[in-house]
Structure 1
């Protein structure tokens, strides 16, 4: 099989013809071009599945939306130059409206990608092919669909639950917003089936596909988000206990997790694949995260866009001697012989082949995340002084060159004396360990800390959800209603 990244571009062209357009659930999505006659062979389904993976690269997903929502919305990053874009500023300052593009782009991109997964899941049933391969392809598509819906339900709350192919415009008008509980039930069902069907690992050209461990880890995060601590702990411990099969590990050096040469490492559980110089398959992060005005000092090719600038608060969140800081961000650059003081992200550094065309992948899940989630789930079931939760928390700290935290440490900064203190210790560790990877906003919302942390920025209670795109409401006002707080 060709490398998954190398055939995505061709698949995008193929499936744009089948109706997977950006107007999905906007102008009544269509899937046509005689689709029933197209999906006949295992190769047809392989191409269909690759098209589903390509959805992860859409602007409304991991190309830009997920880091805008996951970091820019939080206290991790900010817009320091209005030239980065008025919509970016609006998200940063909690001023985004139903007409702001972030909502419409995120909504449309996810539903376009969901349509692609539904094509695989539905059409493959009638294809004569190897039963194990059919189950695997279906499992991969269900993992992707679950990931899409997990994003949507956390961003918008109640959303339309579409688990069949939309074949004509009128079908799109029949979908209203399903309660979040129903969406979560579908996510759990999809991930449970995916975990059962997927292999522990892929090799060679198949590296980058969803694995059993990816499904298990994502399901653990889903349960954690639902505050189902026992189920989350069981699921996450399964990933930890199966490292011999999954081959996951916490790499010895934090620096070895990131950079183009380190992609798809043993710490990575699932990442979105990008490849520069390959007909639209490159990633934009190197350009997006470089400060406006930095010329070629930070990124050698293409314009610096200043879209995800680390805040002063983020800068000060790192403890002294934390090895993760230098890998994640810088405080200055040298331009024309002059030192310019300006924070910027370096996790996605590289030399683009062209503007917005780099090799950097986007890591969605990695083993360090699993360890921290497991520590959190253990603590929520009951604080144990210097118990197993401390062990997993300190694995992450020690890898960064920091001393362990204990229940009765003489250093008050390292003392975690009760359950509430452990919650904050996990929050802090997740912030610096997973910095600029799109987790911070979702962590703050999940733990109920968003309003406390972000109130000074202008956040109000209704901002835990983003507004439903106004286009959706205008097209289908009887079934699509706006989230509370965005009607005026």
Structure 2
């Protein structure tokens, strides 16, 4: 159930007919699960996409500069339209979309329970919206395909769709998903979408578009119905990053599930995220590629338990605990979220057992706080959402700390919004969110060029760097996708 719209002239796949593929609702579910499963690949949440989002932010820098050039270019804002990371990410997301579109075509022709078929169609539409939401933020205008590609000729000369239209379609898909998805999936898995998942992403989409009222309403709906969906903050922040606890984790609203020590053809279930963040030369070694700058660590308040969960500032080397100035490759604290408790994994953390969250309940609280803050300022309700997140952060394995203290209502609107964005930086650190915050808030000049930059990048350009280049091979295959994004 996996088709790609790339390289159509070189590798035509023939003509397919949905009637020959889909005969029952079970067949539709296979296609839906195919779209879900494609997220758990090396090209997306196993390394390439998540690494790109990390490196593009001001929270993660290249550690070992001997790594491949594509990563250095992504990190340093000097890539071109032949960047290998972009070339891996673009077609894989379109395969997710293709599988979702196939499922939707199947849902229109099979017979069976209307409720089940609508739920499967809703899940397919969620997966399509999820993929386009990531694509449109990083590439801007792109081809929007919302039909079963039975003949490659139908998309060979497709043109780009405006950003406004893509967002309109994303919202329509998510609203359909919110209407027809179940409250909970079988076995309460968090790797398949529910009504709560769709609403949380609607909140995020509207936040990105600065539709503050709609963002607040969707986030508030999730919060008001958290018991219905089984959402809550985990008591101990560290438990969010223990792979053996990940399945059905109450704070996860949508996650990508990897199975430890298992792989499949096509880089399916190939996970190198922990390897990329691990410490080269440690007794259990990683590759020291995605490593925060020293300033990220030094400016993070010492009293924050989340700092101790998020970083390894000392590690066992040769049987002795060594502080980060003695690390053999990159003398900086490394990300600990994915290496400390990886579950079943190989020696350098490959093929871990992690479920990587793309949306947590904590983020919904912060979306509600930010949106309401934009509408009404630092009201008691808006401040209360931030304080829920801060209260959990004070619980260090059952011992209550005094930091971070609760915010007080009455502070200025601008200061409150600044504090919410900063809270997102700490709470969601290294979870692939910071780049999107920089992008949607247009903070690039401040965070890369300003005097307090955590990761100075003198060549950052707002005219170019909020978007990635459309892959060159796509433009060569189909000139209708021109012009290239500015600056590439």
TM-score by length of 2: 0.88
**Which residue among 209, 229, 232 is the counterpart of 2:192?**
209
- Which residue of 1 is the match for residue 75 of structure 2? 92
Counterpart position of 1:331: 313
- Residue 379 (structure 1) aligned with residue 376 (structure 2): no
Q: Residue 304 of structure 2 is aligned with which of 322, 328, 337?
A: 322
Matches within 5 A, 1:341-420: 341=327, 342-349=332-339, 350=342, 351-353=344-346, 356-384=350-378, 387-401=380-394, 402-407=404-409, 417-420=411-414
CA distance 1:167–1:22, change in 2 (3 Å): closer
- CA shift for structure 1 position 170: 1.8
1:235 to 191, 212, 218: 218
**C-alpha distance after superposition, 1:43-64 (max 9, x if no partner):** 2122111111112123332222
**C-alpha separation in 2, matches of 1:43 and 1:196:** 21
Contact 1:276 1:358 in 2 (8 A): yes
Whole-Å separation in 1 of the counterparts to 2:345 and 2:239: 20
Please give the secondary structure, in 1, of the residue aligned with 2:465: helix
Residue correspondences, number: 454
The alignment partner of 1:84 has SS state of coil
Alignment match of 1:290 (pick from 278, 287, 292): 278
Residue 253 of structure 2 corresponds to residue 269 of structure 1 = yes
Q: Which moved more, 1:63-72 or 1:359-368?
A: 63-72
RMSD: 2.0
Aligned partner of 1:52 in structure 2 is 35
1:33: Cα distance to partner?
5.5
Q: TM-score, normalised by structure 1?
A: 0.88
Cα distance in 2 for partners of 1:323, 1:22 equals 46
In the superposition, relative to structure 1, how do residues 196 and 26 fare at CA in structure 2: closer, same or farther (>3 Å)? farther
| Cα deviation code 1:328-367 (max 9, x no counterpart) | 1112323114523432111112251476211111101010
Matching residue of 1:466? 468
Q: Are the equivalent residues in 1 in contact too, given 2:232–2:361 (CA < 8 A)? A: yes
Q: Is the 8 A contact 1:252 1:399 kept in 2?
A: yes
Per the alignment, residue 9 of structure 1 pairs with none
Aligned to 2:52: 69
**Correspondences of 1:145-224 after superposition (within 5 Å):** 145-204=128-187, 208-224=191-207
Which consecutive residues of structure 1, in runs of 5 or more, have no partner in the other structure?
A: 1-14, 409-416
How far has the Cα of 1:382 moved from its partner?
A: 2.5
Residues 63, 24 of structure 1: alpha-carbon distance in 2 compared, 3 angstrom cutoff: farther
Question: Against the structure 1 CA distance between its residues 219 and 419, is the aligned structure 2 distance closer, same or farther, given a 3 Å change threshold?
Answer: same
SS at match of 2:23: coil
Structure-2 change in CA distance of 1:206 and 1:182 (3 Å): same
How many Å separate the matches in 1 of 2:12 and 2:317? Answer: 48
**CA 1:61 to 1:467, structure 2 compared with 1: closer, same or farther past 3 Å?**
same
- Mapped to 1, the partners of 2:8 and 2:362 lie a distance apart of 36
Aligned match of 1:442: 436
Tell me if structure 1 keeps the 8 A contact 2:61–2:292: yes
Instruction: Identify which of 256, 264, 271 aligns with 2:239.
Output: 256
Residue matched to 1:313: 295
Following superposition, the deviation at residue 282 of structure 1 comes to: 4.8
The SS at the match of 2:445 is: helix
Which residue of 2 is the match for residue 12 of structure 1? Answer: none
